[in-house]
Amino acid sequence: MGKERVAIVGCGQTKHVATNDGSIATVVRQAAAAALADAQMTWSDIDAVVIGKAPDFFEGLMMPELYLADALGAVGKPMFRVHTAGSVGGSTAIVAQDLIAAGVHERVLTVAFEKQSESEAMWALAVALPFQPPMHAGAGGYFAPHIRSYMRRSNAPDHIGILVALKDRLNALKNPYAHLHEHGITFDSVKDSIMLWDPIRYSETCPSSDGAFAMVMTNEKGGDAAAAAGRPPAWVKGTAFRSEPTMFAGRDQVNPRGGQECASDVYKQAGITDPRKEIDVVEMYVPFSWFEPMWLENLHFAEEGTGWKLVEDGVTQMDGDLPVNCSGGVLSTNPIGASGMIRFGEAAMQVRGQAGEHQIDGAKTALGHAYGGGSQFFAMWIVGAEKP
Amino acid sequence: MAEITLPPRLEGVEPVRSIRVPASIHYRYTAGEASSKFLREVAKKRLVGQQCPLCKKVYVPPRGCCPTDGVPTVGEVELKDTGTITSFCIVNVPFMQNLMEIPYVGALILLDGSDLPIMHLIQEIPADQVVPGMRVEAVWVPDDEIGPTLESIKYFRPNGEPDAPLETYKEHV
Amino acid sequence: MRDIAIVSFAQSHHARAISTHNEVEMLMPLLGEAMGAAGITKDRVDFVCSGSSDYLAGQPFSFVMTLDAFGPWPPISESHVDMDGAWAVYEAWVKMQSGHADIALVYAYGKSSPGDIRRVLSRQLDPYYLQPLWPDSVALAALQARAGLDAGTFTAEQMAEVAARSRRAAVDNPFAQLAGDVEAATLLDAPDFLAPLKMHDCAPVSDGAAVLILAAEDIARELSDRPAWIRGIDHRIEPHALGLRDLTTSASTRLAGEKAGVHHGEVDLAELHAPFTHQELILSEALGLGDGVSINPSGGALGANPVMAAGLVRMGEAATRISRGDANRAVAHATSGPCLQQNLVCVLEGE
pLDDT at A3: 81
Range of the structural domain that residue C267 is part of: 117-201+229-349
Report whether pLDDT(C168) > 50. Answer: yes
User: pTM (2 decimals)?
Assistant: 0.95
Specify the CATH number for the domain of residue A111.
3.40.47.10
C127 touches chain B (CB under 8 A): yes
Is A243 in contact with C76 (Cβ distance < 8 A)? yes
Say if residue A269 is in the same domain as residue A346: yes
Query: Would strands A107-115 and A48-52 be described as parallel, antiparallel, or unpaired?
Result: parallel
pLDDT of residue B153: 92
At residue C69, the pLDDT reads: 94
A125 within domain boundaries:
no
Asked whether residue A115 is domain-assigned, the answer is yes
Q: What is the CATH number of the domain that holds C276?
A: 3.40.47.10
Distance from chain centroid for Cα B160: 24
Cβ contact (<8 Å) for A131 and B132? no
CB contact under 8 A, A145 and B150: no
**Residue A158 CB coordination number (10 Å):** 9
Indicate the residue among A196, A228, A260 that finishes a domain.
A228
**Residues C26 and C63 reside in one and the same domain:** yes
Write down the pLDDT at residue A136: 60
Q: How many domains does chain A have?
A: 2
Residue spans of the domains in chain B: they are 30-79, 81-173
Do C139 and C237 lie in one domain? The reply is yes
Average pLDDT over every residue of A169-190: 97
Q: For chain A, count helices (H), then strands (E).
A: 14, 11
Task: Tell whether A279 and A314 lie within a shared domain.
Answer: yes
Nearest CA to CA, how far is C66 from chain A (Å)?
A: 10
ipTM for the assembly: 0.95
Query: C16 and C137, same structural domain?
Result: no
Residues of A in contact with C233 (CB under 8 A): none
* Degrees to nearest 5, angle at CA A152 with A146 and A158: 95
Does C285 lie at the interface with A, CB-CB under 8 angstroms? no
**A129 occurs within a structural domain:** no
What are the start-end ranges of the H helices in C98-215? 117-121, 137-151, 156-170, 184-188
Same domain, C216 and C160: no
Measured between alpha carbons, how far is C119 from A169 in angstroms, rounded to an integer?
A: 43
- Name the residue of chain C whose CA is nearest to A105's CA: C94
Q: How confident is the model at residue B17 (pLDDT cuts 50, 70, 90)?
A: confident
On the question of pLDDT at C226 being above 80, the answer is: yes
Can you tell me the distance from the alpha carbon of C107 to that of A279, in angstroms, rounded to the nearest whole number?
37
Contact C17, C109 (CB under 8 A): no
Which of A137, A147, A254 shows the shortest C-beta gap to B95?
A137
- What mean pLDDT, rounded, does chain C reach? 96
Least Cα distance to C9 among C86, C83, C62, C74 occurs for: C86
Min Cα–Cα distance to chain B from C173, Å: 26
Number of separate helices (H) and strands (E) present in chain C: 12, 12
Q: How is residue C272 annotated by DSSP?
A: -
CA atoms of A318 and A167, how far apart (whole Å): 9
Average pLDDT score over residue span C67-93: 96
Contact criterion met (CB < 8 Å) for C237 and A74? yes
Q: Which residues contact C99 (CB under 8 A, 6 or more apart)?
A: A1, A2, A3, A101, A102, C2
Nearest CA to C234 among A178, A224, A311, A78? A78
Q: Is pLDDT of B96 > 70?
A: no
Nearest to C282 by CA among C239, C248, C238, C241: C248
Counting as contact any 3 or more CB pairs under 8 A, the partners of B are A, C
Q: Are residues C217 and C138 in the same domain?
A: no
Same domain, A177 and A76: no
A333-371, pLDDT tens digit by residue? 999 999 999 999 999 999 999 999 999 999 999 999 999
Final residue before a domain boundary, out of A169, A199, A228: A228
With 0-12 / 13-18 / 19 or more C-beta atoms within 10 angstroms meaning exposed / middle / buried, residue A52 is: buried
Task: Give me the mean pLDDT over the A287-305 stretch.
Answer: 97
Q: Is the bond into C275 cis (omega within 30 degrees of 0)?
A: no
* Digit-coded pLDDT (tens) for C342-351: 999 999 999 8
C288-329 confidence digits (pLDDT tens): 999 999 999 999 999 999 999 999 999 999 999 999 999 999
The set of residues, in sequence order, having a beta carbon less than 8 Å from that of B44 and lying 6+ positions away, is none
Mean pLDDT to the nearest integer, B21-34: 89
Answer yes or no: do A68 and A163 share one domain. Answer: no
Q: What is the pLDDT of residues A23-45, one digit of tens each?
A: 999 999 999 999 999 999 999 99
Q: Is residue A131 part of a domain?
A: no
The mean pLDDT value for C245-265 works out to: 97
| Residue B65 in contact with partner chain C when CB distance is under 8 A | yes
Q: For residue C187, what pLDDT is reported?
A: 95
| pLDDT-above-90 percentage for chain C | 97
Contacts of C76 in chain A (CB under 8 A): 242-244
Question: A–C: how many Cβ contacts below 8 A?
Answer: 183
Please count the other Cβ atoms lying within 10 Å of the Cβ belonging to residue A150: 24
Question: Of the candidates A373, A377, A91, which has an alpha carbon nearest to the alpha carbon of residue C61?
Answer: A373
| Shortest CA distance from A126: residue in chain C | C60
Q: How many structural domains is chain C composed of?
A: 2
Query: Using CA of residue C285, residue C290, residue C293, residue C299, what is the dihedral sign?
Result: positive
Report how far apart, in Å, the C-alpha atoms of B167 and of each of B84, C14, C121 are.
12, 48, 52
Say if CB C129 and CB C36 are below 8 A apart.
no
Q: Are residues A83 and A141 in the same domain?
A: no
Question: Per-residue pLDDT for A1 more than 50?
Answer: no
Distance CA C308, CA A81 (A): 14
**Helix or strand (DSSP H, E) at C28:** helix C23-38
Residue A364 domain boundaries? 136-207+237-384
Confidence of residue B103 (pLDDT cuts 50, 70, 90): confident
Per-range mean pLDDT, top range of A134-148, A193-207, C246-260: C246-260
Condensed to tens digits (0 to 9), the pLDDT of residues A132-171 reads 666 666 778 888 989 999 999 999 999 999 999 999 999 9
Are both A220 and A149 inside the same structural domain? no
Contact call for residues B112 and B159 (beta carbons, < 8 A): no
* Average predicted confidence (pLDDT) for chain A: 94
> What phi, psi does C161 have (nearest 5°)?
-65, -40
Beta strands in chain B (DSSP E): 47-51, 58-59, 75-79, 82-91, 104-111, 118-122, 135-140, 153-158
Rg (CA), chain A: 19
Q: Which of A60, A130, A135 sits opposite B119 (nearest CB)?
A: A135
C155 pLDDT above the threshold of 60: yes
| pLDDT score of B119 | 86
**Is the domain of C214 the same as that of C237?**
no
Cis upstream peptide for A287 (omega within 30°): no
Q: Which of A171, A199, A228 is the endpoint of a domain?
A: A228
- The whole-number pLDDT of residue A176 equals 98
Q: Clarify whether residues A156 and A67 are in a common domain.
A: no
Indicate the average pLDDT of chain B: 88
**Each residue of A263-294: pLDDT tens digit?**
999 999 999 999 999 999 999 999 999 999 99
- How many CB atoms are closer than 10 A to CB A275? 21
CB-neighbour burial class of residue B41 (10 A; exposed 0-12, middle 13-18, buried 19+):
middle
CB atoms B70 and C115 under 8 Å? no
